[in-house]
Amino acid sequence: MIEGFKMLNGCYDESAMPNLPRNFDTRTRGNSLKLMHVRSRLDQRKFSFCSRVVGYWNSLPNYVVKASSINMFKNSLDKLWIEKEMCYDFEANMSYTSIN
């Protein structure tokens, strides 16, 4: 999410940045910086950063994506996601036993 915020706010050189097409259709709900979901046929494009980030980015409320700085974006995102179940638990025990 932080990388997407940086890309949409011009923190990177545009020639080195992947294409994140904006969705300018205002008839639907969501934030004012919605991204367009481009359909992909091949797995190489389907599982790329640009394809994976669209759904999560479009689900963010407007006050989060319109933050004035990266730190404000991080803080707003943390407050929004504090109660949500995350895909990765950083405090999880990573030890495992092999089955032989």
User: CA 92 → CA 55, 77, 97, distances in Å?
Assistant: 26, 22, 15
CA distances from 37 to 32, 67, 94 (A): 15, 23, 34
So what's the pLDDT on residue 71?
A: 93
Listed as ranges, residues in the chain with pLDDT below 70 are 16-18, 21, 23-28, 85-100
pLDDT for 69? 92
User: What per-residue confidence (pLDDT) applies to 72?
Assistant: 93
pLDDT of residue 7: 83
Domain ranges of the chain: 2-81
pLDDT of 48: 77
Q: How long, in residues, is the chain? A: 100
pLDDT of residue 82: 82
